[in-house]
């Protein structure tokens, strides 16, 4: 029996005891012991009914709390497995997180997932804001529409990754590999691209292919005289009309 149930039972017993004493005194004064016995039976039935009702209420709450704790433990385990360097383990965890809605609801914000092997993972729309994905293998991963604002992607391998309309504002992409990555309409404002590598297959946010003469500061530095803004309302880099 749980501590809460014990407290409730003790209270009911205490109330029942004092009610019994009071009724005995009243019966003694009125010399009506038959009436007292009849009332006693009614009071016992009422007390049992109250206890059963309270037991159901308390038990239901305890079951819900236990289920919630179990769910949180399962979520924590899945997130830990998502950060695995074993590809099958990480992908299975990603799939389960998506099925449960935890890939997009903010459960992954700020999580520590360094060196995760997420090769080819379906991370479309994932909320990875502030997540630590340094050294992660994200080759050919689908990060379309993902929120990677402030994410740590230091030396992450994003070769061939799809980052269409992804939010990479303030992300740290130092020494990241972006060869063949699709950054179409992605938001790179404030992102750190120092030592990040691209090639002719890389699509930059303005939908052109990267060349050695491409000025990436156009996409990262809002003070740049030719700072780029997307014309697509779907893009996080779209300039709101009221700010134009």
* Each residue's pLDDT tens digit, 40-93: 556 666 666 666 676 677 666 766 777 788 999 999 999 999 999 999 999 999
Residue 22 has a pLDDT of: 55
Return the top range by mean pLDDT from 15-19, 74-78, 239-243.
74-78
d(CA 140, CA 3): 53
State which residues form the domain around 103: 83-244
Q: Which residue has the higher pLDDT, 83 or 21?
A: 83
Residue 244 has a pLDDT of: 43
| Same domain as 188, residue 141 | yes
d(CA 220, CA 226): 11
166 CB-side CA count, 13 A: 32
Last residue of some domain: 31, 47, 71?
A: 71
Residue 35 has a pLDDT of: 55
**pLDDT tens per residue across span 166-194:** 999 999 999 999 999 999 999 999 999 99
| Same domain as 115, residue 61 | no
> Which residues, other chains included, contact 32 with Cβ-Cβ below 8 Å and sequence gap of 6+?
none
d(CA 169, CA 148): 7
Residue 14 has a pLDDT of: 60
CATH of the domain at 153: 2.160.20
| Same domain as 57, residue 94 | no
Residue 140 has a pLDDT of: 98
| Same domain as 123, residue 51 | no
Mean pLDDT, residues 191-219: 97
Last residue of some domain: 30, 51, 71?
A: 71
Answer whether 195's CB lies under 8 Å from 170's CB. Answer: no
Residue 171 has a pLDDT of: 98
| Same domain as 143, residue 54 | no
**pLDDT tens per residue across span 110-152:** 999 999 999 999 999 999 999 999 999 999 999 999 999 999 9
Q: What's the structural domain count of the chain?
A: 2
Q: By CB neighbour count within 10 A (0-12 exposed, 13-18 middle, 19+ buried), where does 14 fall?
A: exposed
Answer whether 198's CB lies under 8 Å from 179's CB. Answer: yes
């Amino acid at each position: 029996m749980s501590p809460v149930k014990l407290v409730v039972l003790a209270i009911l017993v205490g109330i029942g005891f004092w009610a019994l004493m009071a009724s005995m005194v009243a019966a003694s004064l009125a010399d009506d012991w038959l009436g007292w016995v009849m009332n006693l039976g009614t009071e016992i039935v009422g007390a049992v009914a109250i206890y059963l009702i309270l037991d159901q209420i308390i038990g239901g709450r305890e079951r819900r709390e236990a289920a919630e704790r179990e769910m949180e433990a399962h979520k924590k385990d899945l997130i830990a497995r998502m950060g695995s360097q074993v590809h099958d383990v990480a992908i299975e965890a990603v799939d389960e997180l998506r099925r449960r809605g935890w890939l997009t609801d903010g459960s992954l914000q700020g999580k520590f997932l360094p060196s995760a092997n997420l090769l080819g993972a379906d991370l479309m729309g994932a909320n990875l804001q502030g997540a630590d994905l340094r050294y992660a293998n994200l080759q050919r991963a689908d990060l379309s529409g993902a929120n990677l604002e402030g994410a740590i992607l230091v030396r992450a391998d994003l070769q061939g990754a799809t980052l269409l309309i992804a939010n990479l504002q303030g992300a740290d992409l130092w020494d990241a590999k972006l060869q063949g990555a699709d950054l179409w309409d992605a938001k790179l404002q404030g992102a750190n691209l120092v030592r990040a590598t691209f090639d002719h297959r890389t699509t930059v946010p303005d939908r052109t292919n990267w060349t050695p003469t491409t000025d990436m500061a156009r996409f990262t530095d809002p003070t740049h005289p030719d700072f780029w803004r997307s014309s697509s309302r779907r893009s996080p880099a779209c300039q709101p009309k009221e700010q134009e």
